Amino acid sequence: MEQFKGQPRLPKFAVPKRYDIRLKPDLTACKFGGSVAVDLDIVADTRFIVLNAAKLSVNAGSVSFTHQDSSKVFKPSKLEIFEEDGILVLEFGEKLPFGLGVLAIFFEGILNDNMKGFYRSTYEHNAEKKNMAVTQFEPVDARRCFPCWDEPAWKATFKITLADVPSELVTLSNMPVVEEKVDGHLKTVSYLESPIMSTYLVAIVVGLFDYVEDHTSDGVKVRVYCQVGKANQGKFALSVAVRTLELYKEYFAVPYSLPKLDMVAIPDFSAEAMENYGLVTYRDAALLFDEQHSAASNKQNVAVAVAHELAHQWFGNLVTMEWWTHLWLNEGFATWVSYLATDNLFPEWQIWTQFLDECTGGLRLDALEESHPIEVEINHADEVDEIFDDISYTKGAFLILMLQSYLGAECFQRSLASYIRKHASSNAKTEDLWAALEEGSGEPVNKLMNSWTQQKGYPVVSVKVKDQKLEFDQTQFLSSGSQGDGQWIVPITLCCGSYNVRKSFLLQTKSRTLDIKEFLDCSISETGSRGSNENNALCSWIKFNVDQTGFYRVKYDEELADKLRNAIENKYLSATDRFGVLDDSFALSMACQQSFASLLTLLGAYREELDFTVLSNLITISYKLARIAADAVPELLDLINQFLIGLLQYSAQKLGWDPKPGESHLDAMLRGEILAALAVFGHDLTINEASRRFHAFLDDRNTALLPADIRKAVYVAVMRRVSTSNRSGYESLLRVYRETDLSQEKNRILSSLASCPDPIITLEVLNFLLTSEVRSQDAIMGLHVSSKGRETAWTWLKDNWEHISNTWSSGFLMTCFVTAIVSPFASIEKVKEIDEFFKARPNPSITRTLKQSIERVRINAKWVQSVDSEKNLADVVKELVHRKY
């Protein structure tokens, strides 16, 4: 049996075709029993059957294999579960006959509280705490519910029965109910057999729910289930779901393949949502929307989350990745398509511009030496959780956008539809998608894209003008400033002085020269729309990676950079390009390839910025700059904060505190971000007004002075004034937290509490996260402490690590803890301490994340040292603060 330990994948002796699963959940004792009968095709000489099982008690006497033709029953001579590998090995006394048979197994398990496998979630009904039973199987936890071949390629059909369930409870699975038998206070519910699918998509929910319902034009029943009394909060998601199913049916040219779609809000849920075939599960905050108490950002998050999970019904469920190496086929596509759908439903949200902000996570992560290729080898089940990251999601999505831009939208759509039809109800690899796009476009897609998916990282294209020529040079961009050795086929786009004057080509070598005299001497006056003076102004800048459609950075020489800054000040560039110039400059400064002073000077060009996405990124960058300044040049921190406050005054005054009649969705979101930033940077007028409104809110929870869109900003402002000698704001927020039953409001409060600069209060907040008052998945909301709380948070993490690693055993949540608390440090000395601590406590599910976090600390430390050595920084900061605009 030892030969099967430590293997990345199951042996191929037997092929599962159909599962007949019977489960009996006990919500009071928090356990379950069950049986599974697997139609199995023996396809190789073997005395073994090896499948997955974890945290289950298998009744050895119940296990049998009955050959279909001979009806001979085989009983295993040995049975062993190897928990470390999550496998169940059955050894028989003789070789099993080829062909079909039935493997029968009886088992028992615990309804755990780890939010994976078959687990329990808690809720309140009529002031009484109750349990519901929920499944979360992706990536490798179906094996915690029933023995199975728990890999994406082992697709089968599933017949599910739930037995002895309290008759008043709602019972859901992937398919509609085919039979329900009530026996007194209990019922047994059977479901239609599913189409062929992977084990990680099987789903079961048992609990007390209300629902709202609608239908698509072709009769698909769509429901949103939520806690009793909250049905109205499901109406927005329901509307989005029905419209999105219609859109995808048309876009993919393939109808939704099941007769119903249920979406369920689960109080305890480790991820944001899960695309189970026909039964999509969500955190409350990702599915429910309260018209009065949810913010505009919550509404957008619900729309994008629903569009993302429904995209998986085609990309992932109908066509499934062959192995986790190709996870990006699921997540990258679902991310990209979710923005396509959201833009179609809500064009006024300008979601494609916001997509750039989403993708900064992928660019930042992929600039680490400890990044990984999009197609990454997975050698053990423990490794899978860690690749559900910004590489698979946002880099994957960005590459799809880049390829769509290169091939053209119509050609891309036709090729996708062909790919889905060809691989429906089966599995696919990355090269299968490239083949479909290559066939549909006639372009060498495989050659173009392999450099982007099979190697980690991306290029920075350095550009300079010399003798009326543009000189390009590509190198791998690393935030450490090190020299990488990657090379890519880069789709270069550029425009000169006007978006009407542009060029595109593929940079297939390390360097290239382009004669740009035709651009530099361009004459817009041919159109008759501009005078010669304006022509000269427009022709004085060149922007590369137009509209940021390429996954790469651009480094301009000093002359080109100065001209772009002038173009930004004069409002010549689009929002996407203003975003790109800023984000590239920030990344280059972090890598010590551009001075901190020049980055601050560039920020000054954005004083009259009003675009939501550009300002949102500017604020994120400003937070990071303030933290670096606090470590590098603490004597300049007050001046830098003054400068950052000045940057936001124009937009703050335009938006004000109160919503305006008919204002845009984006303005509603922006107001809160700007006010929160002003509070963090210490703007007294903002903090004072926030305090006034907060006290009005404490007196009247429905006051118009504190609409949902600015609540987080006000809560942050309140916490900035909290200290051990002035605790009232903190205690008032805890009171609001305890009173509300809206998860979005609880999350707003949790994410604000840690912004307090007092380390003693910070420790209280962190300890509060470990109490039963905070749901496990929500604790990560409160981890982003202020600069002054870093050491407190690190000591707290060390002191509580055993409890944290046991309670938050989900790989995703563990990585959030490590990233949030370790990454903000900026000293080499701290690297050694962090490394030694975790070396003594190895955990395979956070190995990659820990290395990435330590690398970030090294990058921060190097950046701090570089900023500290800038001789003219003080003069630049003083000039920027006092500059008259």
In this prediction, residue 366 carries a pLDDT of 97
In this prediction, residue 385 carries a pLDDT of 85
- The answer to whether residues 14 and 92 touch, using CB atoms and an 8 Å cutoff, is no
Length of the chain: 885
Residue 201, CB-side half-sphere exposure with 13 Å CA sphere = 31
- 790: its two tokens: 């870093």
In this prediction, residue 518 carries a pLDDT of 62
- The answer to whether residues 552 and 545 touch, using CB atoms and an 8 Å cutoff, is yes
Range from 200-204, 816-820, 839-843 that averages highest in pLDDT: 200-204
3-state secondary structure (DSSP) of residue 785: coil
Alpha helices in 36-163 (DSSP H): none
The average pLDDT across 772-780 equals 93
CA distances from 44 to 3, 65, 350 (A): 17, 15, 55
The average pLDDT across 93-104 equals 96
pLDDT band at 466, cuts 50/70/90? confident
Point out the least confidently predicted range of 64-68, 310-314, 539-543: 539-543
Task: List pLDDT tens digits, range 474-513.
Answer: 999 999 999 888 999 999 999 999 899 888 999 999 999 9
Cβ atoms within 10 Å, residue 425: 13
Does residue 758 have a pLDDT over 90?
Answer: yes
- Tell me 321's DSSP state: E
- The answer to whether residues 791 and 826 touch, using CB atoms and an 8 Å cutoff, is no
Cβ atoms within 10 Å, residue 728: 12
- The answer to whether residues 21 and 36 touch, using CB atoms and an 8 Å cutoff, is yes
Does residue 534 have a pLDDT over 50?
Answer: no
Does residue 524 have a pLDDT over 60?
Answer: no
DSSP secondary structure of 443-506: S-HHHHHHHHHSSS--EEEEEEEETTEEEEEEEE--TT---B-----EEEEEEESSTTSEEEEE
The average pLDDT across 16-42 equals 98
In this prediction, residue 510 carries a pLDDT of 95
Identify whether 152 is preceded by a cis peptide bond (ω within 30 of 0).
Answer: no
What is the overall mean pLDDT for the chain?
A: 94
Alpha helices in 253-373 (DSSP H): 284-287, 296-312, 327-345, 351-366
Give the residue ranges of the annotated binding site. Answer: 308, 312, 331
Element (H, E) at 577: helix 575-590
Give the residue ranges of the annotated binding site for Zn(2+). Answer: 308, 312, 331
Our CA angle for 295, 297, 303, nearest 5°, is 110
The average pLDDT across 112-116 equals 93
CA distance 137 to 85: 16
CA distances from 551 to 362, 452, 476 (A): 9, 9, 12
The whole-model pTM stands at 0.95
Does residue 531 have a pLDDT over 50?
Answer: no
Does residue 45 have a pLDDT over 50?
Answer: yes
- Tell me 526's DSSP state: G
Task: List pLDDT tens digits, range 138-179.
Answer: 999 999 999 999 999 999 999 999 999 999 999 999 999 999
CA distance 423 to 417: 10
CA distance 796 to 782: 13
In this prediction, residue 440 carries a pLDDT of 96
In this prediction, residue 317 carries a pLDDT of 97
In this prediction, residue 809 carries a pLDDT of 65
DSSP secondary structure of 808-853: T-SHHHHHHHHHHHHTT---HHHHHHHHHHHHTS--GGGHHHHHHH
Residue 4, CB-side half-sphere exposure with 13 Å CA sphere = 24
- Which residues touch 828 (CB under 8 Å, ≥6 apart)? 858, 861
Does residue 536 have a pLDDT over 60?
Answer: no
Q: What is the 3-state secondary structure (H, E, C) of 220-276?
A: CEEEEEECCCCHHHHHHHHHHHHHHHHHHHHHHCCCCCCCEEEEEEECCCCCCEECC
Task: List pLDDT tens digits, range 829-881.
Answer: 999 999 999 999 998 888 899 999 999 999 999 999 999 999 999 999 999 99
**Residue among 637, 666, 672, 638 nearest 652 (CA):** 672
CA distance 740 to 738: 6
Does residue 532 have a pLDDT over 50?
Answer: no
- The answer to whether residues 515 and 469 touch, using CB atoms and an 8 Å cutoff, is yes
Burial of 529 from C-beta contacts in 10 A (0-12 / 13-18 / 19+): exposed
The average pLDDT across 377-402 equals 90
CA distance 223 to 226: 10
- Tell me 395's DSSP state: I
CA distance 780 to 663: 32
Q: In this structure, what are the phi and psi dihedrals at residue 23, rounded to the nearest 5 degrees?
A: -125, 145
- Which residues touch 632 (CB under 8 Å, ≥6 apart)? 596, 863, 864, 865, 867, 868
DSSP secondary structure of 592-608: TSS-HHHHHHHHGGGTT
- 258: its two tokens: 């099941």
pLDDT band at 205, cuts 50/70/90? very high
Tell me how far apart the terminal alpha carbons of the chain are, to the nearest angstrom.
76
In this prediction, residue 533 carries a pLDDT of 45
In this prediction, residue 811 carries a pLDDT of 67
Q: What residues act catalytically? A: 309
In this prediction, residue 522 carries a pLDDT of 46
**Residue among 267, 313, 270 nearest 288 (CA):** 267
pLDDT band at 810, cuts 50/70/90? low
> Could you give all domains of the chain from N- to C-terminal order, each with its CATH number?
1-191 (2.60.40.1730)
CB burial string 284-314: b at 16+ within 10 A, e below: bbbbbbbeebbbbbbbbbbbbbbbbbbbbbb
- The answer to whether residues 773 and 746 touch, using CB atoms and an 8 Å cutoff, is no
In this prediction, residue 521 carries a pLDDT of 54
- 539: its two tokens: 């022709």
In this prediction, residue 515 carries a pLDDT of 85
- 100: its two tokens: 């079909």
- 458: its two tokens: 């991306």
**Residue among 776, 809, 815 nearest 141 (CA):** 809
Task: List pLDDT tens digits, range 725-737.
Answer: 999 999 999 999 9
CA distance 771 to 127: 19
Does residue 464 have a pLDDT over 60?
Answer: yes
- 770: its two tokens: 């470990």
In this prediction, residue 535 carries a pLDDT of 41
In this prediction, residue 538 carries a pLDDT of 41
Sign, Cα dihedral of 71, 72, 77, 82: negative
**596-603 and 637-655 are packed helices; what angle lies between their axes, rounded to 10 degrees?**
20
pLDDT band at 551, cuts 50/70/90? very high
The average pLDDT across 191-207 equals 98
- The answer to whether residues 287 and 224 touch, using CB atoms and an 8 Å cutoff, is yes
Does residue 672 have a pLDDT over 60?
Answer: yes
pLDDT band at 528, cuts 50/70/90? very low
Burial of 473 from C-beta contacts in 10 A (0-12 / 13-18 / 19+): middle
- 581: its two tokens: 């110039």
**Residue among 578, 356, 595 nearest 481 (CA):** 595
